[in-house]
Amino acid sequence: MDYNQVILITGGAGFIGSHVIRKMLIQYPDYLIVNLDKLTYAGNLNNLKDIENKPNYKFENIDINNEKDIQDLFEKYLFDGVIHLAAESHVDRSISNPGEFVKTNVVGTLNLLNVCRKNWVSFEDKCFYHISTDEVYGSLGETGFFHETTSYDPRSPYSASKASSDHLVRAYGHTYGLPIKISNCSNNYGSHQFPEKLIPLIINNIQNNKPLPIYGKGENVRDWLWVEDHANAIDLIFHKGRIGETYNIGGHNEWTNIDLVNLLCDIMDNRLSNPNGESRKLITYVKDRAGHDLRYAIDASKIQKELGFTPSLKFEEGLTNTVDWYLNNKKWLDNVTSGAYQNYYHQHYN
């Protein structure tokens, strides 16, 4: 079949990537979607089980740090666009192992930029779209928002590595004319998120009657966005965003961690038919994260005005749907917490 576009999505076996792949396959059946993923602990092909046999979907088990493998991939497929999500994504892991974050997030991104620059004979109608985070802007006080023009001030090894990759992507746009786009998004939540991140961790711990760790006083604020809304925004930016531009994406939905965990406890009590207040008893204040950013909040007016993006779901509804997904997909969670999901690739692709 002649495909309208051939798109490379990196990190497609991860949390956000799997939602983006599913959305693209459904919305654009005339595209060939190639998923490049190293399958680190965060990559889980179970996330894509429902679409893995589609003829216009291909999986490639590649590390973005392996330049030869990426070059070979660009010789195998003539890509029209790249949506780059592959990254080490967890702040706590970046504090204990920063080197891995520099390797994948900075050098891996550089490798992809180089291979695009080298293999795209003409840059016309091409697009390198880099998915980034609001954490590059640093930490807010009690008021104010991150704008696209806010100066970078990354404060964790994770955000420093993402900031470096953003700078490299912009530099390749400026210096070589590579057609690039960047978006910086706030905290995502939804199905298929690895249970090291706050929301699935709390759901999993309540199910297993384990303590619910709250860093510091629980007063840090995050701006939460449903992952499907992030995937919608990525689709809009990839297809309609302007080359060379940056777009902030957020939910306009700020919660302190303790308020959020209390709400999750109440939803879980309701779903598990627990007595009121049962799950809240598990809340345990623990040592704060080193360098813990106080508050993130996104001004998303640019993407709203230019591309018509607004989040579709109210948070309470999205959170309830998310709880229901984890409760209905206990096998997924058990596979992830036991490590069994890591056999999937060998069983299905080797």
Residue 231 binds which one of ligand DAU, ligand NAD, none, with CB within 5 to 8 A depending on kind? none
CB atoms within 10 A of CB 92: 14
Q: Is 295 in the site for ligand NAD (CB under 6 A)?
A: no
SS3 for 151?
coil
134 is a catalytic site residue? yes
Of the residues 63, 134, 229, 235, only one is catalytic, namely 134
Q: Helix crossing, 330-338 with 198-207: angle to 10°?
A: 100
Taking the CA atoms of 266, 268, 269 and 271 in sequence, report the sign of the dihedral they define: positive
CA distance 58 to 149: 37
Tell me: does residue 104 bind ligand NAD (CB under 6 A): yes
Partner from ligand NAD, ligand DAU, none contacting 65, C-beta within 5 to 8 A by type: ligand NAD
One character per residue 173-192, x = contact with ligand NAD (rule: CB under 6 A): ------------x-xx----
Considering only 57, 194, 315, 326, the residue that binds ligand NAD (CB under 6 A) is: 194
Pick between residue 48 and residue 298 the one whose CB is nearest to ligand DAU. 298
User: Within positions 135 to 164, which residues make up the interface with ligand NAD, using CB under 6 A?
Assistant: 162
Residue 265 makes contact with ligand DAU by CB under 6 A: no
The closest of 253, 228, 221, 231 to 325, measured between CA atoms, is 228
Q: In 146-274, where does DSSP find H-type helix? A: 157-176, 198-207, 227-240, 257-272
Considering CB under 6 A, how many residues would be counted as binding ligand DAU? Answer: 19
CA dist list (Å): 115 to 68, 70, 103, 335:
10, 7, 17, 35
Indicate the residue among 35 and 139 with the shorter CB distance to ligand DAU: 139
| Catalytic position from the list 135, 235, 254, 293 | 135
Active site residue 345: no
Partners of residue 24 on adjacent β-strands: none
Residue 227 vs 282, nearer CB to ligand NAD: 227
User: Strand pairing partners for 189?
Assistant: 226
Separation of alpha carbons 132 and 129, rounded Å? 10
Element holding 84 (H helix, E strand): strand 81-84
CA–CA separation, 114 and 44 (whole Å)? 27
Q: Which of residues 112-141 bind ligand DAU (CB under 6 A)?
A: 133-135
129 is known as an active-site residue? no
Taking CB under 6 A as the criterion, which residues in 200-239 touch ligand DAU?
A: 201, 213-215, 220, 222
Q: Which residues are catalytic?
A: 134-135, 158
Interface residues toward ligand NAD, by CB under 6 A: 10-11, 13-17, 37-40, 42-43, 63-65, 85-89, 104, 108, 131, 133, 162, 185, 187-188, 194
Interface residues toward ligand DAU, by CB under 6 A: 89-91, 133-135, 186-187, 197-198, 201, 213-215, 220, 222, 257, 289, 296
